[in-house]
Amino acid sequence: MNRFDLTSRLVKKLKNEAVIGGIGNTNFDLWTAGQRAQNFYMLGSMGLAVPIGLGVALAQPERRTFVLEGDGSLLMQLGALATNAGAAAPNFVHLLFKNNVYHTSGAQEIPGGEGVDFVLMAKGAGYREAFAVREVAELERRLPHILTATGPLLVELHTTLADKTPMTAGMGTPFAQQVETLRQKLLTLDAAR
């Protein structure tokens, strides 16, 4: 499955849900799929998508919170699985893109590679539900459940490598400009309150 395609499918279904885009390609895909005021784009903070997402879910319990993160990033903060399970935020959904590599920096294999079972780890930590999705048709079938199920929920999405990464090709708008654009939009939203 293609990570950008999966991200785009999710974004098209969202209304007011918060989305935390983990560092690297996950973040770039979220930005490209459609900017929303409810999106948070992470830069320079590998492994922190889950803790930030949990903070949002706990601070705004009426808002469903999605964390989009790569498998290499989650490996940087495995303890977050137990923290999430202990917090038991019913509005927390963890979408994990599993391609078995640190993709953004050059596709180096993650420790354990294909043998790492994040579903088993999440269940062992105490997530309410965790499952893997390997085919787009299965995702389409499960998407209504993913959008409404009581969390914490982890969905391990098996993805292919992207054709382009920031290390292999220019990705459109420079990040400094993207960050400034986002900052200006947030200031405008704050001023309107």
SS (H, E, C) 12-35: HHCCCCEEEECCCHHHHHHHHHCC
Please tell me the distance from the alpha carbon of residue 43 to that of residue 45, in angstroms, as a whole number.
6
Predicted confidence (pLDDT) per residue in 24-57, tens digit: 777 778 888 888 888 888 777 777 889 999 999 9
Number of other CB atoms surrounding residue 107 within 10 Å: 15
pLDDT of residue 172: 55
Predicted confidence (pLDDT) per residue in 88-130, tens digit: 999 999 999 887 666 666 666 667 777 889 999 999 999 999 9
pLDDT of residue 110: 67
Give me the CATH number covering residue 154: 3.40.50.970
Tokens describing residue 141: 């079938």
Predicted confidence (pLDDT) per residue in 68-91, tens digit: 898 888 888 889 999 999 999 999
Beta strands in 57-190 (DSSP E): 65-70, 92-98, 101-102, 108-109, 129-133, 153-158
Tokens describing residue 191: 């001023």
Domain extent, residue 184, equals 3-192
Query: Buried b / exposed e across 144-179, counting CB within 10 Å, b at 16+?
Result: eebeebebbbbbbbbbeebeebeeeeebeeebeebe
Tokens describing residue 12: 């098209």
Number of compact structural domains in the chain? 1
Q: What are the backbone angles phi and psi of residue 93, rounded to the nearest 5°? A: -125, 125
